[in-house]
Each structure stands twice: as structure tokens, then as C-alpha cells.
Structure 1
Amino acid sequence: MNTSQNTNQNRKHDQSQNQAEHLTLVLGSTGKTGRRVAARLEAAGIAVRRGSRSADPAFDWQDPATWPRALDGVTNVYLSFFPDLAVPGAPEAVAAFTAEARRAGVRRVVLLSGRGEPEAQLAEEVVARAGLEWTVVRASWFAQNFSEGAFLESVVSGEVVLPVGEVGEPFVDVEDIAEVAVAALTQDGHNGQIYEVTGPRLLTFAEAVNAIAEATGREISFTSIPLEAFTAYLKEEGEAPEVIEMLAYLFTEVLDGRNAYVTDGVQRAIGRPPRDFAEYVRTAAENGAWK
């Protein structure tokens, strides 16, 4: 074996050892982004501690007493805040957590943030001042909300009714978010970066629903209703007041047109264009998301 081959093998061995020695805490590990981040890290041979209330050790944003055990021995953190960075008290909770993380010896944190949300950007500033290596992944609306989240039941029923009109949204594939986050967690060169991640084009919610209907061969309608009617329906269904308030905020302020443009965050972070909504729909349909 020549010297070059030996050197390459040694480098790969050292990299593998370094990966094995790093323990990454993935918060929100049962959510859309967290479980994908954790799976990618584990596939790369990186030790992962899945952070959730059901994990052992447990992690609960509402119980700071659970944080030290979850952070013990951790080098890097994927920080996804529950329920959303837009809720009151989120920046303060993130500040307390990152301070605890620094005391625990954490070196690097990657924050999942929300695009066009002033409250979320307060949390970004907190992370940037925490004395850690940091990266922000500032995401637009998840494409997977139609197949795994809030809109799934409506899509399956054949009628999507939401308080949103003709505003365009560059829905981002959660697979892209996870890939960007893993790159920031495992590679140098991302410190201090804010990656605003979107899909490659704008779609209205009606166009998104129509794309799903075409891919599945099913009749799925979209109806725009006033916000008051939407929140009244949620109250009748027994939804928690704080959830209703958060959804009202997202459907009014965040979808007021401020985010109706695409960005190059995915390209800058991982060197390729973002996945198109049509690719997401095709994959989700093939996997039986709407059966």
C-alpha cells in the first residue's frame, strides 16, 4: 500500500474516531426536523442523545431541572424549541438553556429558527451571544406540514380550509433543513452563519394543495376563510388558547407577504439547490402519506 493510501486511511480513521467521541444532543428528536437530524447523525457514526420528555434522560423545556443530565458529556446541540420560538418566554428559555450548555462544556449549537418572526430572531441573538460556536437555520413553512403535521387530516379529508389568501410561500422540504443542520453540526466553516432556507419557488397554499391533488389523483379543495372563522372553529374543537394564538400569529403576521421571496440558504450551506415542492409531493405520495 502506498503512502497516499495510508495517509487517506489514517485520516478517515481519525475522522471516524472524532465523530465517535462527539455526543450530539438533538432536541425535539420526535419532531419533523429533529428525528431526521438524529437519523442522519447516527448513520454517519456520530453518537446521538435524543432529547425529548419520553427519552432517558428526559429533556423538558418546561423543567430546567432535566437539562443538566441531558447535557452531560454533550459536545454539540441541535436546538429546536417547543412549541415555537414565537411564544412568550421563548428567548428567555433559550438564554437559560444555552448558559447551562456552556457550563456543561458544549462547544457548538445549531438553532432552528422561524423566517420572518421577530420573536424568533430575539432567540437567535441570544444564541449568538452565548459564547458558543453557533449557526442559525431560519426556515420557511415546512412542506411536510401537508403530510405529517397540521394540514394532514384536512388533505386526507379532501378539504383544506385555512385563513390565508394569495400570498406566495417558498415551502421548504424538511429533508433540506435536516441536511443543512447536520452539516453545521459536523463540519467547520458554519460558525456565525445564518442560513435562511426556502424552497426554490413561491406557491400559494391553493397551488400547494392542487399539486398534492394532481399527484394523488384525488379531489382536494382549498378554501380561504376569515381568521375569525378559523379561530372560532379551533375553539369549538377544544384547541388550547395558546395554540390558537400562535396559529393566528403565523397566519396573519408571518403570512403577510414579508416572506414572499426565495433565498439561497440551502445552496450556501450544502452546495446544492433546495428540493422543489413537486419532488416533495411525489416522494410523499409514493410513500403513501395521503392514503
Structure 2
Amino acid sequence: MADETRKRTQETANTAAVLVTSGTGKTGRRVVERLTARGVPVRVGSRRGEVPFDWADESGWEAALSGMEAAYVAYAPDLGAPGAPGAMTAFGEVARRCGVRRLVLLSGRGEPEAEAAEEALRAAAGDAELTVLRSAFFTQNFSEGALLGPVRAGVLAFPAGDTAEPFVDADDLADVVVRVLCGEGGAGRVHELTGPRALTFTEVAAELTAATGREVRYAALTGAEYGEMLVGYGVPEAEAAFLAELFTTLLDGHNAAVTDGVKRVLGRDPKPFAAFAAEAARDSAWDA
């Protein structure tokens, strides 16, 4: 045990500094918190950061990557979005010039477009060690993301049909990211990260009903209906069309299988959806 502790301490010390892109987002802020707790120097990549970083403005990337040994790459709006491969090529080239040695990329499961962006980063980053984390949908989408409002309203309207999805907890993903960034295992590979069980949205609604103590039901939409709903909420038509196509493609059943990716990296099982929902309810996530 003492030898393992010394090894982890040394490996953490070897990570001189880490840039966390989208550092105030759902996964980025969790990664920042964990690295900071370990004493790893962190640069928070955000538009309002001390060294500003904006995925829409390449001019600030070199300053943000300068002096960094590693980076967590969480591309916004989505790695499967149009323009992502070009952004990954540009980011990889800057990272290579700045001498970044380790990259951990957040990707999506079963997304050919995202895989093209992964390859673009791999090709541009040169000798940098690249770890790709292909993640299932986050459980936190229901507590701090786009589905927070619908849960509070009691109706989950989404184009998922009766397809099951093995939702993964963002805290588990952040633990994986930090372990890889700190050189503690799993680096240089492609990992598919899921929760321990696949749930349909109807089953999710039942779990949320149990956790919140008030009814939450699932209302199935077609992709077209979902896109129209988003436009009605003020989402630009192009973005609404992209999201509708993305969700209907991802939720056609090809991503329903559960993987052991979290356990292989962390040595423990991922958090069940019911445990996430109970914790979020205790933290008043769905209070009006």
C-alpha cells in the first residue's frame, strides 16, 4: 500500500500542469475540482478564464496551452458536430507546438462523425499520448442539463422511443479522466464508458418519480417533433435539426450495450442511475 501511494504521488507530480477545456462545464468543472484536490496545477479553459480559452476563437489556444503538459479536451458544442474535425486538427497542431504530452478526449459512443474528429486530433497531435473516452449519455443531463426543466415540469419529451441507454454518471467519467491525466492507468487507449444498466426513458421516468416523490412521465417524440419543439423554445433551426438527428441516431439501439470501461480504469463499478437520482434529489436538484 505504501509503495502504491508513493507511486501515485510521483506520477501526479510528473503532471506539471493541465489545461481543462470547457472547464466550467458539466465534466470540466468536475475534472478541475479533482485535479485541484490532488494538488495538480490546473488552467481552467473558459472564455472568462485567467488565460481565456474559447473553442470559437483559435487565437487564444496557444496561450492557453503554453506550459501545459496535459489537456482534457471537451469540445463544444459536440464532437460529432460539423466543424469538429477541423477544430481538432487545429487544436492538435497547437498542442504539438506547445509540447503537450498527454491528451484525454471526451467523445461519444457510436458516432461516426465523432470518430472522424478523434482521428483528426490523433493525426495532428504528433507524439502526444491520446486517450479517447467514448461516453454514454450523462445521468446529469436530467439534473443540470437540457432535461432539468422537463423533469421539474413532470414530462420528459424526447425522441428515444423504447430504446434503452446505459447512462453514465459524470462523476465517474471525471474520475476516469483524472486517473488517466495523472498517469495512473488506462492511458493511450479508447474506452467506452457506460453505467451498470441500460434504462429506457420510461424506466428513467419511474426512477425520477421514486427519487423526487412526484410524478415524472416520459412522452415519446419523433425526431421531427423534437426539432420543432426546440425551435419553439428559441433554439436556432440548424442547431435544433442537428440535435434532433443526433439523438434519433444515437438512440436507435446500437448503443444499448453495457461496457466495463469504468471498472477497467477505476477498479470499481459505475454508479447506478437510482443512486444518482437519490443524491440529486437530496441536493435539491429538482426543487422548483
Whether TM-score is above 0.5 comes out as yes
Larger radius of gyration: 1
Deviation at 1:241, TM superposition (A): 2.2
Task: Look up the equivalent residue of 2:105 and give its one-letter code.
Answer: L
TM, length-normalised to structure 1: 0.92
Structure 1 distance, partners of 2:7, 2:109, is 38
Structure 1 residues 47 and 256, CA gap change in structure 2 (3 angstroms)? same
State which of 16, 20, 32 in structure 2 corresponds to 1:26: 20
**Contact 2:35–2:41, Cα closer than 8 Å, also in 1:** yes
1:205 is aligned to 201
* C-alpha distance 36-10 of structure 1, shift in aligned 2 (>3 A): closer
Percent of aligned pairs sharing the same letter: 46
Matches within 5 A, 1:239-278: 239-278=235-274
1:222 to 208, 218, 230: 218
Deviates more, 1:104-113 or 1:179-188: 179-188
How high is the TM-score relative to the length of structure 2?
0.93
Question: Which residue in 2 is equivalent to 1:104?
Answer: 98
Q: Equivalents in 2 of 1:82, 1:11: separation in Å?
A: 35
Where does the alignment leave 5 or more consecutive residues of structure 1 unmatched? none
**Is the alpha carbon distance of 1:186 and 1:232 closer, same or farther for their aligned partners in structure 2, counting shifts above 3 Å?**
same
- Is 2:80–2:117's contact at 8 Å kept on the other side of the alignment? no
Deviations 1:224-250 (A, max 9, x none): 122222222222222112321221122
**2 CA distance for matches of 1:102 and 1:55?**
22
Tell me which residue corresponds to 1:177.
173
Matched ranges for 1:273-288 at <5 A: 273-288=269-284
Q: Say if 2:137 is the partner of 1:141.
A: yes
Q: Deviations over 1:57-81 (max 9, x none)?
A: 1111111111011011111000000
Whether the 8 Å CA contact 1:86–1:246 is kept in 2: the answer is no
**Are residues 1:163 and 2:170 paired?**
no
One-letter amino acid matched to 2:153: S
* Alignment-mate amino acid for residue 39 of structure 1: E
Alpha-carbon distance change, 62 to 263 in structure 1, aligned in 2, over 3 angstroms: same
Q: What is the total number of aligned residue pairs between the two structures?
A: 284
Q: Which stretches in structure 2 are left out of the alignment for 5+ residues?
A: none
Stretches of 4+ aligned residues off by more than 3 angstroms: 7-19
Q: Give 2:108's match in structure 1, choosing from 114, 130, 140.
A: 114
Q: Distance in 1 between matches of 2:5 and 2:171?
A: 30
CA contact (8 A) 2:72 2:103 kept: yes
